[in-house]
């Protein structure tokens, strides 16, 4: 197992390396002027354009960019963001926190409430309520998240005035306010974006789990247990839960990158200062250092997610020999 | 039991009918009305679903848009599923070399930021034909499906019935097609049915970076995108394409469920 | 419609109906939201980003600022700010005297050395400024501790603006040791030290920047003690912030939100003139070979027909709102003084457009609805950035209107970077652009002169060059009657149709009703924020 883990980790690192190289090549192929975030709609005489290109390294070849990236990683300096004119790492750090907060809470709810609802709707498939829950989750998934978000803001912030319309904290809150006041303020700002994200995503774990439980429920050992007269609830928790976890583990591995990628539309609607907003804007603005660094971070999380999923397969189902 | 499938089919046939013959009944989907007085009209006899910010008939745009969006979404899901299943099964194959290559392909595919890939592929060319758009979305969307299939297939390989079948001397190809592929279906169907909504919404998002369908051609995606500015003063602009999209996903889900039941009759 | 360049709400009589103690406004606050983080709120280094310029205006003084109710850019249209006075030595020489009371916020006096240092920075290519603005200036030198002498290359009526307003000195004593290219990323840029009415207090990344009044500010104690600039990318989210009362002012109000915002603002929406201009730029050269005329758009009659075929009033009002004007040349609302305070474009005339085309030999011989001449159909492509909702609405309406005169336009909605590339490399027929104009009409030379047509990297994307136009601009620079002279310039431009000017949009700004002495400026909106007051008795909890 240990040997396998080492091999698998080395393999993930190599894949990540190849992916980063591919990313740099892709970013080089992006159409558009790399100085756009600096120049905007201004002109630049040839001397200015040349000075800017040299300073920002926008005239590098692919090989030079790769070399700069790898020496940058070694020195812990990935250059400056073109639009923020600050170190890329600082910019990423500023945006990573809010996205991690929102993303981890969403994942937590999705994979607790969502999975529980999945089991419940599968075991009570005859109940009208269960069918409605299942169907509504699909509606939540299908309706664009910015619509859900905008409606939530309109209702709870603009009309009722119960919650703030967006952002992660109240900038007017005095820095001398107590810990509880600051925490309460963060919570108030979290409610609506979190609700919008959960509504938009919960259908996937819910329906995967529901479908997996259906399948497991038809297996001989479950039928046997039922024939023995074991209580349905006991069957559900003893026999259905664990085998049905495999697709959920895959899903968790797939969704882990969402923790750092952020949800663009929810972040836009709620002005949540996260990675989704940052990377989308950086892509549109051609802020290449941010796109590359953010993309590399994403690549690493994807590999980590896939590695984690493989380890979890083994935990969930020890018969699966790691290969 | 069969009512779900019937409802799903009825909805899909209805949408397809609207897509095919609706445009003949509806007025022109282009600017028709008076731009100063005819904009953002509520539904009426003349405009069944009202008009948008450019006085265009929403029902007409919805009907034309159905062609575009159903083609794009259908193609995208089909292509992604076919490639995803193929690569995913390969990645679970006993052959180390082949599985290794497939697994790395999946990880690479998942790691590439899709928006950047789509920008590189499409931005230079401007707008492309609907069919190609669906194909490109499918070609960039398969890794998630492949990963799901791989996970399921790995689990099934260890399952008792597969082991039994192998012990009985079934060829690995037969095991793959008769035992493993059907076993991945439940997870696959959920992913594919939700994928329809994904594709339409992705197409809406692409409007934002200028690689969607060419205006003035309507699609549900660009209708949703353009209606966003009017969510407050004319919410019915968003309601029409959103309801159409929800209906499509619901129909696909219902069909998927009954397909699963008929293919895996033992699960109720 | 008459538009005043400056709108100052008269200070209301203060009603002392409550005990003074209950009305104490200890911390009068203005909260406003901007679309992009003011990451580098410094003059020269703001990347042309409005939010940077807005915050820089609170921290760093201009030498001179606009005079109340002034028109044009003549010498008398400005009042002292950092410069106490200025003197005209001869038609090409000005001297500026820095106010001896002016101090950097670390206590060091502001001197000519700061001005000379900043002038040097502005000319450094690594700073990345669009140096065409500085082109009229020949030299800047210190002639005393607090006096600088500026020589211009030629006489012009705009000299006070060109140096006095554009110059916002930076502190030489704090920056000299840094290389110019390192300033934007320096600690100074993270926490600037200025000489204006506000001190930089702190920044919460991604959330807000907070400024506190400098109570010892030499031009008077600011009436607003605290300015909070919130970063909010999405326009709808900015509207929501205003509707929930989380912000106090709102500019760039999206058209669909105006009724709601008006309701919330208690009807207090100030119709500010805007410096924005939306137009369809025409490439009259052949795409791919700029020496040849464009096969379709090279013909001035075709351009004329396309322009008058459009009902621009309808387009302008549906896309930019009822406060928009429709100009025939590059004239935004801040230049309305050139045409007597109003902007009037020629009305639509599709019949005449059809006649013009017929006269030029364009006929629909094959009956496909598109006219041809010598086998070439009147077809071309209009490109616009996907991120521009306005571009989309303008393009769709124009496409429909041109169909009625037999012209067929293909719309290409493209990624913004691709639009830029296509335009710079000449691979285009027509493009939708929106620009912000300087207060000075001589800035026309940056995008419309023969000089800029031949200059690499200029904003004259169409390489438009008209000798008569250039002569008229030269004449206007020194003309006694500025309005009349610039009117001739604009008239010449409209007769040549280098572009189809769609709209000079207005700039409605909603302001919370608790402020008095609200002064807003057409460009540099919040320049006089420090002179606002919170009406006693109307204060909110955040003002106390």
Q: CA-CA distances (angstroms) from residue A323 to A190, B95, B99, B103, B144?
A: 42, 11, 10, 12, 21
Which residues, 6+ apart, have CB-to-CB distance to B142 below 8 Å?
B79, B80, B81, B83, B84, B87, B109
CA C268, C272, C274, C278 torsion: positive or negative? positive
Q: Are A185 and A170 in contact (CB under 8 A)?
A: yes
Chain A residue with minimum CA distance to C34: A271
Average pLDDT, chain C: 89
C520's tokens: 């807003």
Q: What contacts 24+ positions apart, CB below 8 Å, involve C367-371?
A: C369/C403, C369/C406, C369/C408, C370/C406, C370/C407, C370/C408, C371/C405, C371/C406, C371/C407
pLDDT at B2: 58
Given a cut of 80, whether residue A251 has pLDDT beyond it is yes
**How far, in Å, CA of B126 to CA of B69, rounded?**
18
pLDDT band (50, 70, 90) for residue C444: very high
pLDDT at B264: 62
**Parallel, antiparallel or unpaired: strands C226-231 and C208-213:** antiparallel
A268's tokens: 């836009």
pLDDT at C23: 53
Chain A residue with minimum CA distance to C415: A284
pLDDT at B267: 45
**Nearest Cβ partner for C131 among A45, A83, A84:** A45
pLDDT at B124: 66
Q: Across-strand partners of A87?
A: A80
CA distance A124 to chain B (A): 13
CB–CB contact C415 B211 (8 Å)? yes
**Portion of chain C with pLDDT greater than 90, in percent:** 62
- For A117-139, how does the pLDDT look when each residue is reduced to its tens digit (9 = 90+)? 988 888 887 888 888 888 888 88
Residues 88-147 on B with a CB inside 8 Å of C are 119, 123-124, 126-127
Place of tokens 């026999």: A239
CB–CB contact C207 A167 (8 Å)? yes
Mean pLDDT in residue range C381-405: 91
pLDDT at A198: 94
CB–CB contact C415 B210 (8 Å)? yes
B211's tokens: 């690689």
Q: Are C160 and C89 in contact (CB under 8 A)?
A: no
pLDDT at A243: 63
More confident call, B163 vs C389? C389
User: Is residue C260 within 8 angstroms of chain B, CB to CB?
Assistant: yes
More confident call, B197 vs A148? A148
Given a cut of 80, whether residue B168 has pLDDT beyond it is no
pLDDT at B84: 95
Given a cut of 60, whether residue C348 has pLDDT beyond it is yes
**How far, in Å, CA of B261 to CA of A281, rounded?**
45
- For C88-125, how does the pLDDT look when each residue is reduced to its tens digit (9 = 90+)? 999 999 999 999 999 999 999 999 999 999 999 999 98
pLDDT at C24: 66
CB–CB contact A203 B194 (8 Å)? yes
Residues of chain C neighbouring B234 (CB-CB closer than 8 A): 256
What's the helix, strand, coil split of chain C in %, to 5?
A: 35, 25, 45
**How far, in Å, CA of C156 to CA of C165, rounded?**
15
Which of A167, A174, A278, A286 is most worth mutating to test chain C (most C CB atoms within 10 A of its CB)?
A: A167
Which of C418, C422, C428, C432 is most worth mutating to test chain B (most B CB atoms within 10 A of its CB)?
A: C418
Three-state SS sequence of C293-356: ECCCCCCHHHHHHHHHHCCHHHHHHHHHCCCCECCCCCCCHHHHHHHCCCCCCCCCCHHHHHHH
pLDDT at A237: 67
More confident call, A157 vs B205? A157
**How far, in Å, CA of C446 to CA of C360, rounded?**
32
pLDDT at C3: 34
**How far, in Å, CA of B241 to CA of B52, rounded?**
12
* HSE, side-chain direction, 13 A CA sphere, residue C298: 12
pLDDT at A240: 67
Residues of chain A neighbouring C228 (CB-CB closer than 8 A): 171-172
Given a cut of 90, whether residue A76 has pLDDT beyond it is no
**What ranges in C404-502 are assigned the alpha helix state H?**
416-424, 445-448, 450-453, 467-478, 482-496
Given a cut of 60, whether residue A96 has pLDDT beyond it is yes
Residues of chain C neighbouring A273 (CB-CB closer than 8 A): 205-207, 231
Given a cut of 50, whether residue C248 has pLDDT beyond it is yes
Q: Across-strand partners of C422?
A: none
Q: CA-CA distances (angstroms) from residue B95 to A323, B147, C430?
A: 11, 17, 57
Q: Across-strand partners of C229?
A: C32, C209
pLDDT at B266: 52
pLDDT at C449: 92
**Other CB atoms closer than 10 Å to residue B158's CB: what's the count?**
14
B136's tokens: 């490109």
Given a cut of 50, whether residue C22 has pLDDT beyond it is no
**How far, in Å, CA of C369 to CA of A177, rounded?**
70
More confident call, C34 vs A242? C34
Place of tokens 């996260």: A274
pLDDT band (50, 70, 90) for residue C9: very low
Of the candidates C260, C304, C293, which has an alpha carbon nearest to the alpha carbon of residue C500?
A: C304
Of A85-94, B15-24, C311-320, C439-448, the least confident = B15-24
CA distance A76 to chain C (A): 17
pLDDT band (50, 70, 90) for residue B32: low
More confident call, A251 vs C333? C333
pLDDT at C19: 41
Of the candidates A34, A5, A20, which has an alpha carbon nearest to the alpha carbon of residue A288?
A: A34
Q: What are phi and psi of C340, to 5 degrees?
A: 75, 25
pLDDT at C359: 93
Mean pLDDT in residue range C365-386: 91
pLDDT at C17: 38
CA distance B187 to chain A (A): 6
CB–CB contact C417 A286 (8 Å)? yes
Given a cut of 70, whether residue C370 has pLDDT beyond it is yes
Which of C457, C463, C542 is most worth mutating to test chain A (most A CB atoms within 10 A of its CB)?
A: C457
Give the E-state strand segments of B18-68 in sequence order.
Answer: none
pLDDT at B80: 95
CB–CB contact A171 C206 (8 Å)? no
Q: What are phi and psi of C367, to 5 degrees?
A: 65, 25
**Nearest Cβ partner for B210 among C257, C314, C414:** C414
- For A160-180, how does the pLDDT look when each residue is reduced to its tens digit (9 = 90+)? 999 999 888 888 887 777 889
**Portion of chain B with pLDDT greater than 90, in percent:** 9
Given a cut of 60, whether residue C352 has pLDDT beyond it is yes
Residues of chain C neighbouring A171 (CB-CB closer than 8 A): 31, 204, 207-208, 210, 228, 230
**Nearest Cβ partner for B187 among A211, A303, A319:** A211
Chain C residue with minimum CA distance to B228: C236
- For C450-489, how does the pLDDT look when each residue is reduced to its tens digit (9 = 90+)? 988 888 888 888 889 999 999 999 999 888 899 999 999 9
Instruction: Give the SS3 label for residue B41.
Output: coil
CB–CB contact B232 C412 (8 Å)? no
CB–CB contact B119 C259 (8 Å)? no
**Nearest Cβ partner for A283 among B115, B150, B266:** B115
**Nearest Cβ partner for C125 among A32, A36, A51:** A51
**Other CB atoms closer than 10 Å to residue C99's CB: what's the count?**
20
Residues of chain C neighbouring A262 (CB-CB closer than 8 A): none
Q: How big is chain A, counted in residues? A: 323
**Nearest Cβ partner for C393 among B53, B211, B232:** B53
**Nearest Cβ partner for C457 among A31, A43, A150:** A43
**How far, in Å, CA of B142 to CA of C49, rounded?**
40
Given a cut of 70, whether residue A309 has pLDDT beyond it is yes
Given a cut of 90, whether residue A281 has pLDDT beyond it is no
**How far, in Å, CA of C101 to CA of B211, rounded?**
57
- For C145-192, how does the pLDDT look when each residue is reduced to its tens digit (9 = 90+)? 999 999 999 998 889 999 999 899 999 999 999 999 889 889 999 999
**How far, in Å, CA of A262 to CA of A275, rounded?**
5
Q: Are C168 and C61 in contact (CB under 8 A)?
A: yes
Given a cut of 80, whether residue C505 has pLDDT beyond it is yes
Which residues, 6+ apart, have CB-to-CB distance to C167 below 8 Å?
C62, C63, C115, C118, C119
**Other CB atoms closer than 10 Å to residue C64's CB: what's the count?**
24
Of the candidates C461, C425, C431, which has an alpha carbon nearest to the alpha carbon of residue C281?
A: C431
Between A and C, how many CB-CB pairs are < 8 A? 158
Q: Are C59 and A53 in contact (CB under 8 A)?
A: no
Q: What is the full DSSP assignment across C77-129?
A: GEEESSEEEEEEEETTEEEEEE-TT-B-TTSPBP-HHHHHHHHHHHT-GGG--
- For C308-329, how does the pLDDT look when each residue is reduced to its tens digit (9 = 90+)? 999 999 999 989 998 999 999 9
Given a cut of 50, whether residue B126 has pLDDT beyond it is yes
Residues of chain B neighbouring A125 (CB-CB closer than 8 A): 268
Please state the pTM of the whole predicted model.
0.88
Interface confidence, given as ipTM, is: 0.87
**How far, in Å, CA of B99 to CA of B150, rounded?**
10
Which of A266, A273, A289 is most worth mutating to test chain C (most C CB atoms within 10 A of its CB)?
A: A273
CB–CB contact C39 A171 (8 Å)? no
CA distance B36 to chain A (A): 27
CA distance C141 to chain B (A): 48
């Amino acid at each position: 197992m240990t040997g396998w883990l080492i091999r698998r980790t080395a393999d993930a690192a190599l894949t990540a390396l190849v992916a980063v190289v591919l990313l740099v090549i892709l970013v080089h192929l992006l159409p558009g002027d790399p100085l756009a975030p600096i120049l905007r709609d201004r002109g630049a005489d040839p001397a200015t354009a040349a000075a800017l290109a040299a300073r920002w390294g926008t005239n590098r070849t692919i090989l030079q960019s790769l070399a700069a990236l790898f020496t940058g990683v070694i020195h812990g300096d990935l250059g400056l963001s073109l639009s923020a004119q600050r170190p890329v790492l600082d910019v990423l750090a500023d945006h990573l926190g809010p996205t991690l907060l929102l993303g981890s809470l969403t994942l937590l709810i999705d994979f607790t409430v969502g999975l529980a609802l999945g089991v419940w709707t599968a075991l009570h498939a005859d109940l009208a309520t269960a069918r409605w829950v299942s169907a509504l989750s699909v509606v939540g998934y299908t309706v664009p998240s910015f619509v859900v978000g905008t409606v939530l803001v309109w209702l709870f912030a603009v009309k009722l005035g119960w919650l703030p319309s967006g952002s992660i904290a109240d900038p007017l809150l005095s820095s001398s306010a107590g810990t509880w006041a600051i925490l309460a303020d963060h919570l108030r700002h979290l409610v609506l974006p979190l609700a919008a994200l959960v509504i938009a995503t919960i259908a996937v774990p819910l329906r995967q789990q529901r479908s997996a439980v259906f399948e497991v429920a038809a297996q001989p050992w479950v039928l046997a247990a039922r024939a023995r007269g074991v209580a349905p609830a006991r069957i559900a928790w003893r026999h259905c839960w664990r085998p049905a976890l495999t697709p959920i583990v895959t899903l968790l591995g797939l969704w882990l990158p969402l923790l750092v990628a952020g949800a663009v539309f929810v972040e836009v609607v709620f002005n949540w200062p996260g990675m989704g907003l940052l990377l989308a804007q950086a892509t549109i603005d051609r802020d290449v250092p941010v796109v590359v660094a953010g993309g590399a971070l994403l690549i690493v999380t994807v590999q980590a997610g896939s590695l984690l999923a493989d380890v979890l397969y083994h935990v969930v189902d020890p018969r699966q020999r790691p290969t | 039991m069969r009512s779900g499938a019937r409802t799903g089919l009825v909805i899909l046939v209805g949408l397809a009918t609207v897509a095919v013959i609706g445009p003949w009944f509806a007025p022109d989907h282009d600017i028709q009305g008076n731009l100063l007085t005819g904009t953002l009209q509520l539904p009426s006899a003349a405009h069944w679903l009202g008009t948008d910010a450019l006085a265009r008939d929403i029902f007409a745009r919805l009907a034309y848009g159905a062609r575009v969006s159903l083609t794009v979404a259908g193609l995208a899901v089909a292509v992604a599923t076919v490639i995803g299943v193929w690569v995913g099964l390969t990645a679970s194959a006993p052959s180390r070399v082949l599985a290794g290559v497939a697994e790395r392909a999946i990880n690479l595919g998942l790691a590439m930021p899709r928006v950047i890939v789509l920008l590189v592929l499409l931005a230079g060319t401007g707008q492309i034909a609907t069919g190609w758009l669906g194909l490109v979305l499918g070609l960039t969307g398969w890794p998630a499906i492949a990963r799901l299939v791989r996970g399921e297939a790995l689990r099934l390989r260890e399952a008792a019935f597969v082991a039994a079948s192998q012990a009985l001397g079934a060829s690995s190809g037969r095991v793959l097609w008769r035992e493993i592929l059907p076993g991945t279906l439940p997870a696959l169907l959920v992913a594919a049915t939700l994928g329809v909504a994904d594709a339409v919404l992705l197409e809406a998002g692409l409007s934002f970076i200028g690689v969607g369908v060419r205006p003035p051609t309507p699609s549900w995606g660009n209708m949703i995108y353009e209606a966003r500015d009017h969510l407050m003063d004319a919410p019915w602009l968003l309601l029409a394409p959103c309801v159409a999209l929800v209906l499509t996903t619901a129909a696909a889900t219902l069909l998927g469920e009954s397909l699963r039941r008929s293919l895996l009759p033992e699960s109720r | 419609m008459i538009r005043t360049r400056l709108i100052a709400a008269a200070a209301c009589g203060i009603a002392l109906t409550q005990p003074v103690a209950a009305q104490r406004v200890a911390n009068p606050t203005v909260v406003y939201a901007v679309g992009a983080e003011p990451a580098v709120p410094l003059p020269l280094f703001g990347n042309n980003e409005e939010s940077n310029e807005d915050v820089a205006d609170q921290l760093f003084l201009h030498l001179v600022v606009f005079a109340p109710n002034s028109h044009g850019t003549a010498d008398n249209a400005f009042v002292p700010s950092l410069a106490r006075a200025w003197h005209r030595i001869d038609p090409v020489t000005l001297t500026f005297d820095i106010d001896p009371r002016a101090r950097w916020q670390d206590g060091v006096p502001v001197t000519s050395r700061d001005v000379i240092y900043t002038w040097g920075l502005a000319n450094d290519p690594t700073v990345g400024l669009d140096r065409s603005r500085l082109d009229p200036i020949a030299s800047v030198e210190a002639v005393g501790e607090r006096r600088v002498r500026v020589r211009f290359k030629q006489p012009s009526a705009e000299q006070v603006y060109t140096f006095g307003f554009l110059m916002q000195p930076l502190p030489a004593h704090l920056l000299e040791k840094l290389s110019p290219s390192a300033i934007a990323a320096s600690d100074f840029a993270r926490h600037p030290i200025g000489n204006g009415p506000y001190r930089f207090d702190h920044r919460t990344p991604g959330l807000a920047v907070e400024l506190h009044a400098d109570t010892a500010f030499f031009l008077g104690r600011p009436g607003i003690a605290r300015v909070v600039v919130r970063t909010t990318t999405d326009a709808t989210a900015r509207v929501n912030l205003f509707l929930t009362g989380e912000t106090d002012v709102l500019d760039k109000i999206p058209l669909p939100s105006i009724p709601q915002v008006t309701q919330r603002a208690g009807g207090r929406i100030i119709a500010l003139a805007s410096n924005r201009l939306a137009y369809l730029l025409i490439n009259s050269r052949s795409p791919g070979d700029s020496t040849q005329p464009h096969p379709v758009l090279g013909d001035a009659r075709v351009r004329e027909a396309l322009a008058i075929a459009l009902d621009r009033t309808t387009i302008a009002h549906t896309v930019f709102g009822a406060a928009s004007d429709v100009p025939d040349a590059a004239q935004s609302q801040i230049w309305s003084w050139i045409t007597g305070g109003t902007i009037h474009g020629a009305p639509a005339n599709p019949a005449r457009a059809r006649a013009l085309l017929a006269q030029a030999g364009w006929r629909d011989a094959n009956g496909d609805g598109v006219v041809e001449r010598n086998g070439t159909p009147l077809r071309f492509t209009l490109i616009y950035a996907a991120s521009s909702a306005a571009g989309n609405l303008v393009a769709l309406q124009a496409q429909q209107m041109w169909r009625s005169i037999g012209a067929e336009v293909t719309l290409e909605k493209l990624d913004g970077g691709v639009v830029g590339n296509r335009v710079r490399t000449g691979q285009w027929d027509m493009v939708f652009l929106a620009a912000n104009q300087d207060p000075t009409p001589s800035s026309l030379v940056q995008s419309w002169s023969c000089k800029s047509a031949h200059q690499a990297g200029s904003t004259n994307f169409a390489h438009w060059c008209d000798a008569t136009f250039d002569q008229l601009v030269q004449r206007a620079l020194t003309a006694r009657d500025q309005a009349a002279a610039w009117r001739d310039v604009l008239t010449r431009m409209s007769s040549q149709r280098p572009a189809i000017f769609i709209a000079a949009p207005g700039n409605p700004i909603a302001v919370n009703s608790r402020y008095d002495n609200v002064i807003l400026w057409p460009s540099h909106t919040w320049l006089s924020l420090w002179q606002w007051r919170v009406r006693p008795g109307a204060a909110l909890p955040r003002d106390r």
